[in-house]
Structures are given as C-alpha cells and as structure tokens.
Structure 1
Amino acid sequence: MSAPDQLLVVIDPVARRFDGESVRIAKDVLCAGSAAKICLPDGPEEFSRALARRGSRRPVVIGDDRALLRTVGQLHRARELAGEALSLVPVGGGASVAVARSLGVPTGAVAAARAVLDGAAHPLDLLADDSDGVVLADLHIPAGPATAGAPGRTGSVWHTCRSLLRTFARPVPPAPPGVRTHRLRVEADGVLLSDLDEPVEDVRVRAAEGAAEVTVHRSSDPGPVRSLAKVVTVSGADFRYRADALVGGPVRRRTWTLRPRAWSLTLPGPRTAGE
C-alpha cells in the first residue's frame, strides 16, 4: 500500500458530540479505502499530540473550521505545513464549516471522505501574522459578532467582552446611527489606506491567489477603499480581530503577510500519476 494511503484520522471531540453518525460514516469510508489509524482525542492538547506523532501518515481531520485552523496553525508553527497535504471531513453546523465550504471541501460525510481518498492536493495561500497565527480565508478587523446560530466554544465569552467594550468605548462622531467606528491606521505594502484621524467602520482582508485583498470602510467615503498587497499592518487603540472562526487580541498593532501556496488541501478531483 502506497504512502499516501497511510492515514492518521484525528476526530475532533466537538464533532463526535455534534454529529456522531456523520463521524461514523466518514470513519467507515476512510477505513474501507485505506490503512487508517483512528485517534479520538479528548481535548486540544491530545489533538495536538496526536498530530505531532503522525510520523509518515497523511493527516485527516474530522471536525469543523476550528479543528482545521488548529491543525494548520500547529503545523505552521512547527514549520511543517508545506511538507504534506491536509485532508478534512467537515462535521458541524452550517456556519461552523463555512471556511471549509469556501475552500471547496464537500460538506457531506461520504463525499468528503471520498475526496480524501480519491482527491488531489491543491496548493493554497494563507495569511500569517507576526504572532504565528494564520488566516485561511477571511480576516475581519475589528472582530465582528459571531455568525448567528453558530457560536464558537468561547463565543459567549467574546460576546460578553464585546458588550463591555461597547459600554465603555468613547463614541466617535460623525457615525451614522447604529454604526460603530474605530481609530485604526491601515497600511498595505507601506501605502497608507487610512490613518488614526479617519473613523473606520471595519477592515477586511482576504487571502486570494497571489495577493491579499484589503477592503477598508471609512465613514467619510461613499464606497470602500480597496487594495492588493503582500503585507498588511493595522494599528491603533486595543482592537480584536476575527481570523476565520477564531477571535484574537486585543492588540495595538498586528501585521499579516501573504504566504503564497503555503499549504495544500485535498479537494475533489482525480489524482495524477506519482501522487
């Protein structure tokens, strides 16, 4: 049996609690088509240990976006991300697998498991920040509220923090009713897109093919300011940011750098000879 058929299947405990039937189906398909070693970690620490001890086995994660982000983040910090393709079988509520869906991973258990076995590795870009954090799809500054109906494991805590911040934040005129503004300095490849004297409603950055798409919504402009860049730096008063499904901060300065083709994800499609 070839090396790519040696799988380490790490099943996130949240997935087991959320939809045990989908987990069972995915596990059965993977075990039927490969030499799969199944790991059932009870928490993040065991999850990380299992991944670190994978040896030559190809890692497969059964779980939601947070499980995928945990895996990519760990391999990035260990400088092992470029060495092998990751595979994902998404299990979770609709919004909790939004990143996986946006990356092209099938959300059905059977289709996703078949893609692990028969799919091809696709190189993808990501954003890496100066604290070794990663963004696979979307960065939102400051952190917006969690998507309705899909609270994260710490979502209620962050909601409480944001409520307190709203209570104590000094209002910045002239903001339209119901719109919060922030004092943020935004630089894209050294070019100033917004400074601290310009009220900003939000900043969004998305990893695209070969560039980071930066969108700044300023209160005084009828439309957003857009730019393509390799390096994006945001600074200002303490702010939080949402990196895909995770909230980071508060920080006063953070820089994100585009890493082209930094990682690979197995997606539906035929394997080529030699893979």
Structure 2
Amino acid sequence: MSAPDSTEQPLLVVIDPVARRVDGESVRIARDVLCGGAVAKICFPEGPQDVERALARRGRRRPVVIGDDRALLRVVHLLHQRRDLPEVPVSLVPVGALPAVSLARALGVPLGTVAASRAVLDGAERRLDALVDDAGGVVLGGLWIPGPGGLNRTPEATAAAEPNGSPETGIADVADVTEVTASEGGVGDHQSWWSPAARTARSALTLLTGPAARHQLPSCTRLRVEADGVLLVDLDEPVARVALCAVDGQAEVTVHTHSAELPSVARATRVSISGPSFHYRADNVLTGPVRTRTWSVREGAWRLVLPRG
C-alpha cells in the first residue's frame, strides 16, 4: 500500500565514498538532478560515524543514498538503531555494477542514474516488510543459509563477514542476477521496475540468489529450524539450503533437504535456526559464524521511495 508522498521535503543526500571512487560521473549527475529539483544538503561521509552524525542532525530532511546496496543497508541499520526506520522514508540512487546493486534492483529501484534520481523527486513511498534478528540486524530482501560447500568465500567475502570489516568492501561471491527472467519469478529487462513480479520479498530473494544458487545445491549441513515453535527440520536430517524472506506480513521459510524431492515451505512470525556454527547471507552480505539466530517479521518496517505506477 502506498504511503503519502514526501517529495516536498528537503533532502539529506548521503554520497557514499565508494560511489565517488567507482563512478564519479554518475554521482555528479545524480547530485545535479537532485539539487535541481529539491532543497538538498549534501553529505560526503568518510565512514559510518559521519553517516550516523548526519542522520542524527537531519531534521526534516529525508535521506537519499547515492551508492550501492551496502550504502543503503548502512543507512537502514542506523535508522533502525535510532528507532526512526518506520517513520523515515528512504531513497536510493544506485551507483555501481551488478552484483553490488542487486538488492536495489530486486527492490524495484531503477539502476539508471537519471531515472533513479527522478524517482527520488517524483516517486511515491511504499511501506515494505523486513526481518529483524535478535542481534539487531535488519534484512530487507531475504537471507539464505548454504552448506559448507556453498560459501566459496573470497577475501572480499571474508572481509564482509568480519564485524570490524571495512565499510567500503564491496559485495563478492554473488550469483549473476542478470540471467533471472520474469518466468522464474524475477524481473526481466522488458518489465517496469515496479511490476507485479517485483513486489514481494520472494522475488527479491529469487533475484539475490540467482539461477546458479537455486539449481546447484551445496553440501549438507546440520541445522535445527523452528517456525513459531514448530520444528521443521532437526539436526539429524542434513539440510542443503534454507531461505527466509518476509512475505505479506509473515516470514516465509523454505527448507531444502536431500531426502525430499521438494522443499518444505512454512509461514510464521518468528523463525529460529540453530546448530553447529554456520554462515548466512542476508541481502548478499555474508554473516557469521553463529550458532543460533532468530528472525521476526516486521510488517511495514520501512519506507522506500520508488517510481510511481
């Protein structure tokens, strides 16, 4: 459901340092379009602390992120920590190539600089669900847990998993999302960015995992998965993959095992996963190892400005 427009509010434009380094020309174009259409304060943060200070002093300005998925996630997490996330509309102008902006694409944000900037000025807010974990994390698109053979960790992915890793580390080791088509539940190039196929987090999870991740299941791992206290799989049954996303106000968990031809799917408000140390990818960011984690769905947890229609 659409939220009231906020296009008349002044803007706080947060320009990620990685975006300035990767594609300075796109950053310049986005800044010119935004400043030409609204009263905007430009912020050039050098690190997360600068972003946090800018958000704390934003006043009535609504945040606009110029950068990749990581820059968006950083702002969302900071707003969540400040308990401002449900009431503050967020906008994004993606800068970077796939897969660094695959979450933006999955959420329905145009990847073109001018189109995304115009959407910031002329778009409409939409309330979207999210998953919040017991460690304070927020998942916008979806998460999945591969077995030990499914991580293929690169140095970049390892840095992304470290709690004190560089905020400028890009997303690595992600399936090619450009191959996803509308028939697979994704968004084809011929479709509008806010087409029906792109409206659910399930579609976002499909885009983020990509065809290779869906069709080449990794090695087995042992996990205990519970949905609202109901046991879906226990440690004695090897798991190939677990996927989780927020759909229509509920958490949808999909469990692939090698003993069953089809995955089991359940809906719940709270999903707990535990077992030997495991890693998981949330919005394409590698996290872990952890021994247990619980996610709860938050309906209408955040507001994203997207193109109209």
What's the TM-score bracket when you normalise by the shorter of the two chains?
Answer: 0.7 to 0.9
What's 2:225 paired with? 186
1:128 to 110, 115, 132: 132
Write the distance in 2 (CA, Å) between the matches of 1:209 and 1:231. Answer: 14
Cα distance, 1:152 vs structure 2: 5.7
Write the distance in 2 (CA, Å) between the matches of 1:152 and 1:62. Answer: 22
Change (3 A) 1:48 1:146: farther
Q: Is the 8 A contact 2:256 2:262 kept in 1?
A: yes
1:58-84 Cα shifts (integer Å, max 9, x gaps) = 110001111111111111111110112
1:190-248 Cα shifts (integer Å, max 9, x gaps) = 11110010101111001222122211111211111111111110000111111103222
User: Is 1:96 the equivalent of 2:96?
Assistant: no
Write the distance in 2 (CA, Å) between the matches of 1:147 and 1:249. Answer: 12
Larger strand proportion of the pair: 1
Q: Is the 8 A contact 2:129 2:246 kept in 1?
A: yes
1:203 to 242, 265, 272: 242
- Work out the number of aligned pairs and report it: 249
What's 2:284 paired with? 245
Cα distance, 1:269 vs structure 2: 1.2
What's 2:299 paired with? 260
For residues 17-32 of structure 1, the aligned pairs below 5 Å read 17-32=21-36
Q: Segments of 4+ in structure 1 off by > 2 A?
A: 2-5, 142-148, 151-158
For residues 92-241 of structure 1, the aligned pairs below 5 Å read 92-142=96-146, 144-145=150-151, 154-155=159-160, 179-241=218-280
* SS in structure 2 at match of 1:182: coil
Write the distance in 2 (CA, Å) between the matches of 1:138 and 1:178. Answer: 18
In our comparison, the structure showing a higher alpha carbon Rg is 1
Change (3 A) 1:70 1:153: farther
Change (3 A) 1:196 1:61: same
Write the distance in 1 (CA, Å) between the matches of 2:152 and 2:96. Answer: 15
Amino acid at match of 2:159: T
What's 2:177 paired with? none
Amino acid at match of 1:40: F
* SS in structure 2 at match of 1:220: coil
* SS in structure 1 at match of 2:51: helix
Aligned Cα root-mean-square deviation (Å): 2.4
What's 1:165 paired with? none
Over the matched positions of the two proteins, sequence identity in percent amounts to 58
Cα distance, 1:108 vs structure 2: 0.5
* SS in structure 2 at match of 1:75: helix
Write the distance in 1 (CA, Å) between the matches of 2:286 and 2:131. Answer: 15
Change (3 A) 1:86 1:130: same
Cα distance, 1:147 vs structure 2: 10
Write the distance in 2 (CA, Å) between the matches of 1:59 and 1:179. Answer: 39
What's 1:82 paired with? 86
1:121-162 Cα shifts (integer Å, max 9, x gaps) = 0000000000110100111114854799xx56925989xxxx
Write the distance in 2 (CA, Å) between the matches of 1:178 and 1:188. Answer: 22
Structure 1's unaligned 5+ residue stretches are 159-176, 271-275
Write the distance in 2 (CA, Å) between the matches of 1:220 and 1:48. Answer: 47
Write the distance in 2 (CA, Å) between the matches of 1:52 and 1:181. Answer: 45
TM-score normalized by structure 1? 0.84
Write the distance in 1 (CA, Å) between the matches of 2:17 and 2:153. Answer: 21
For residues 37-52 of structure 1, the aligned pairs below 5 Å read 37-52=41-56
